[in-house]
Structure 1
Amino acid sequence: MSQFNIREAREQDVDNIFRMLKELAAYLKEPDAVKSTPETLRRDLQLYKCLVVEDLSNGESSTKPLIGYAAYSDKFTMCDGRLTVLDNLFVAPEKRGKGIGTRLLDMVSKDAAANGCNGIEILAHGWNSRAMAFYKKRGAIDVTENKDWHYVQIPLKSQTKMDN
């Protein structure tokens, strides 16, 4: 029997999702990167999909701790059509290597296919060889290596500078 259960996130999960998001940011050596708050995650819950992983190893505990999550949303591009963007995939360090991340990615992939998406877009740090190997093992193509594309962002406060 599986020691974990994956289900859709509920509003009452947001504080735990935020906790794991902060853990992920610290692991990625970007502890100040999280601009969201539990309130914004709660407010914008309809803008993204989120799966959470419950730890069932405690048996009959009525409060099953959350040990992982996958947050994602869909986007459209003129070239690729509809894509799913995997924003975060996190599994608690002590629970890694047990197939949880694979199950999460499988569920995201099935949802993407069911919604007519043509692929999954993932932004991963180049130094994170474990994540890169995980995604490449599942057929991911490193666009930076193969097409020399670069991911850029324009913060809205920069837009004000351009207007002046």
Structure 2
Amino acid sequence: STSPEPPSQLGLGQPKPIQLGKSQSCTSEPSMHFLQVRPAEPRDCPEILRLIKELAACEDMLDEVTLTATDLLRDGFGNNPLFYCLIAEVYSQQKPSVTTGFAMYYFTYDPWIGKLLHLEDFYVIQAYQGLGIGAELLKRLSQIAIRSQCNCMHFLVVIWNEASVEYYTRRGALDLSSEEGWHLFRKKSF
């Protein structure tokens, strides 16, 4: 099949061990922590919204978020979802899981190159950055794109976020705004 496969059918793998620094561990005793990246479920909508708002606050745009958990449930978990989402969780045997990040994406079509995966939002909470969670989310997105026969992945990075621009550039991404000179437009009224 050449249609995008729902992430639940993509065999996203088993949880992997992760080493947490002292800032994330409340005890001085070493314990095993695990990272799990999984497809979002309807019950995750409040957590997804929390992460969206946290990301918007980092970009000083929290007032722009008008979405609700009900909107997410309606738009992402019906028969024809408008988006898919991966959830990153860190857990141990002693503590419940902590939602540490998410990646929201959808499939679209470019008339020049064909099918592509568009990464709409991607975020790992500050306390868990630098532990490889973002890299694992990107790896899973790449697996989904390959299995869905996408030709590439598109995403936007706010212009002042130099750390993210550098992060993606180091991983082989091209900045189309400078390479090809594109402008992004939005029209709110219909």
Q: TM-score, normalised by structure 2?
A: 0.78
Per-residue CA shift, 1:85-127, capped at 9, x if unaligned?
1011110101000100011011011101111111111110111
**What CA distance in whole angstroms lies between the structure 2 residues aligned with 1:103 and 1:6?**
8
SS at match of 2:150: coil
Query: Looking at both structures, which has the greater relative contact order when contacts are Cα pairs under 8 Å and sequence separation is at least 6?
Result: 2
Determine which of 31, 52, 55 is the counterpart of 2:87: 52
Structure 2 portions without partners, runs of 5+: 1-16, 19-33
Deviation at 1:59, TM superposition (A): 2.8
What's 2:166 paired with? 133
SS in 2 for 1:139: coil
Alpha-carbon distance in 2 for matches of 1:89, 1:121:
12
Alignment partner, residue 126 of structure 2: 93
DSSP-derived class of the 1:148 partner:
coil
Equivalent residue for 2:57, pick from 4, 23, 26: 26
Residues in 1 aligned to 2:126 and 2:116: alpha-carbon distance in whole angstroms: 29
What CA distance in whole angstroms lies between the structure 2 residues aligned with 1:53 and 1:43? Answer: 22
More helix by share: 1
Secondary structure at the residue paired with 2:140? helix
Offset at residue 135 of structure 1 (A): 0.9
User: Is the partner of 2:47 in helix, strand or coil?
Assistant: helix
Deviation of 1:35 after TM superposition, in Å, equals 2.8
Task: Work out the CA distance in 2 between the residues paired with 1:34 and 1:113.
Answer: 31
| Counterpart residue type for residue 49 of structure 1 | Y
Please list every run of at least 4 consecutive aligned residues from structure 1 whose deviation after the TM superposition is greater than 6 angstroms: none
C-alpha deviation, 1:32, in angstroms: 1.7
Q: 1:15, 1:117 → 2: CA distance?
A: 30
Count, aligned residues = 155
Task: Tell me how far 1:48 sits from its aligned partner.
Answer: 1.0
Identity %: 30
Q: Which residue of 1 aligns with 2:149?
A: 116
| Counterpart for residue 162 of structure 1 | none
Matched, 1:10 2:44: no
- The CA deviation string for residues 133-163 of structure 1, in whole angstroms up to 9 with x for no partner, is 11111111001111111011121x2x3xxxx
In the TM superposition, what is the alpha-carbon distance from 1:30 to its structure 2 partner?
Answer: 0.9
**Which 5+ residue runs of structure 1 have no aligned equivalent?**
160-164
Q: Are positions 1:37 and 2:68 aligned together?
A: yes
Distance (whole Å) between structure 1 residues aligned to residue 130 and residue 111 of structure 2: 37
CA displacement at 1:33 relative to structure 2: 2.1
CA RMSD of aligned residues (A): 1.1
Instruction: Name the SS for the 1:32 alignment partner.
Output: helix
Q: CA deviation at 1:77?
A: 1.6
TM-score by length of 1: 0.90
CA distance in 2: counterparts of 1:149 and 1:47, whole angstroms: 25
Counterparts of 1:74-89 in structure 2 under 5 Å? Answer: 74-89=107-122
